[in-house]
Amino acid sequence: MENVNQNAQEFFKGLWKENPIFVSVLGMCPTLAVTNTAINSLAMGLATTFVLVCSSILVSALKSVIPKQVRITSYIIIIATFVTVVDFTLAAFTPDIHKELGAFIALIVVNCLILGRQEAFASKNSVGLSILDALGMSAGFSFALLCIGIPREILGSGSLFSFSLFGDKFEPWVVMILPPGGFFMLGFLLLIFNWYAQRRKAHG
């Protein structure tokens, strides 16, 4: 029973208690850059999920083989390999999304969320736990990207997943799909998140 509990904990901590964006504030580059539409947020979330889960499996499985002195280099090789696979695959099968995300796919390599999980978790835990941790963290990351991307698209383009919501009468808030919109939305959500966390703490 305790085992099941621990497994669940490793998964759910990424969603809420240790959410990579709202709590750890990791991976800000894609968070701000590609959340101008819901579909871009989703695509970036899925791409990061794939890379994080695959890297965690490999790093966890190879943790006894990889010499400590060159572990970071090895992690980066592993991560970069999966990122390039994602890059080619998106270009081949979803060229439109690939064009939208552009350089930010390649930049998943340096998303510190991914390297951080390898160093902090996958290199010290079993493959099973590492998968749960990676899935939880990716789900938390994707959830946070969507939390930013959905309101930005609704306010900035008047649409959701490219479906027009308000018709012609709506005047889009262009600033929301420009870079400042990302900062506004992220700041606003961090405010809510921290306010809620403090209130919970205060109420015991």
Partner 1 sequence: MSEENQHIEEQEPSSAKLVLALGIAGLLSGFVLVGTFLFTNPYIKANQQAAIERAILNVIPNCDSFSTLVLTKSGLEIKNTDNNEKEEADKEELLIYAGFNLQGGLIGFAIPGSEPGFQDVISSIYGYNNVNKTIIGFEVLESKETPGLGDKIIKDQDFQVNFKSLSVEPEIITVKKGEKENKNEVEAISGATISSKAIVRLLNKSIALWQPAIDQYVNDNNIEVTK
Q: Is 167 in the site for partner 1 (CB under 8 A)?
A: no
Which letter, b or e, does each residue of 17-37 get, where b requires 16 or more Cβ atoms within 10 Å of its Cβ? ebbbbbbbebbeebbbbbbbb
Give min distance, CB of 78 to partner 1, in A.
7
Is there binding between residue 84 and partner 1 (CB under 8 A)?
yes
- Which ranges in the chain belong to alpha helices (H)? 2-15, 28-33, 38-61, 71-93, 95-101, 103-106, 112-117, 127-157, 179-202
Cα separation, 140 vs 11, whole angstroms: 10
Distance of alpha carbon 43 from alpha carbon 83, whole angstroms: 13
Site residues for partner 1, 104-163, by CB under 8 A, read 156-157
Q: Quick one: which segment of 15-23, 83-91, 136-144, 193-201 binds partner 1 (CB under 8 A)? A: 83-91
Mask of contacts with partner 1, 13-52, x by CB under 8 A? -----------------------x----------------
95 binds partner 1 per the rule CB under 8 A: yes
CA–CA distance, 29 with 89 (Å, rounded to integer)? 22
Contact 83, 169 (CB under 8 A): no
Phi, psi torsion values for 173, nearest 5 degrees:
-85, 90
Q: Which is nearer to partner 1, 22 or 63 (CB)?
A: 63
What is the nearest approach in angstroms of partner 1 to the Cβ of residue 94?
Answer: 10
Nearer to partner 1, 32 or 80 (CB): 80
Whose CA is closest to 130, among 138, 118, 122? Answer: 122
Shortest CB 79 distance to partner 1, Å: 10
Smallest distance from the beta carbon of 175 to partner 1, in angstroms?
8
Cβ atoms of 149 and 36 within 8 Å: the answer is yes
Q: How far is the CB of 95 from partner 1 (least distance, A)?
A: 5
Name the segment binding partner 1 (CB under 8 A); options: 22-30, 80-88, 127-135, 187-195: 80-88
Cα 126 to Cα 113: distance, rounded to the nearest angstrom: 19
Q: Provide the binding-site residues for partner 1, judged by CB under 8 A.
A: 36, 65-67, 69-70, 73-74, 77-78, 80-81, 84-85, 88-89, 91-93, 95, 99, 156-157, 172, 174, 177-178
